[in-house]
Structure 1
């Protein structure tokens, strides 16, 4: 499990942009499946709502995570199983 975790973060650091990486690490640190709002995204990335909206239009987790809208400004972010070698993260 530790090796999978290290490999996961190593690949994420190399493949993801700053915005995606911050959200990805937040999801990893909170069990791999989180509910996240745009307000929280602003705090995590240190940017304003306009930048978050802009980043969300071009978001690309490179198949490592998935962001789905729940309602309005609330989303679910989950680490995908294939990103961690086909094993459940939790």
Structure 2
């Protein structure tokens, strides 16, 4: 069975809600992160929005660290020509 925690928060007079620190920490949220709200049958789920670098980190977990200076592009790379 999954652990469950209930946290209560109150809407401000401007209908704004501060995400409690426990939840921010649990989701790894920081300043300017996107948050996704998903509504299913009257229940709201909250998750951190994916940004590019978050996606890269997730890919690293699945496929390993792909950052290397030794990529072999063979002839597929082509030639870069810079015009002034």
TM-score (norm 1): 0.29
Q: Which structure has the greater CA radius of gyration?
A: 2
Structure that is richer in helix per residue: 1
**TM-score, with structure 2 as normaliser:** 0.31
- The one of the two structures with greater contact order (alpha-carbon pairs below 8 A, sep at least 6) is 1
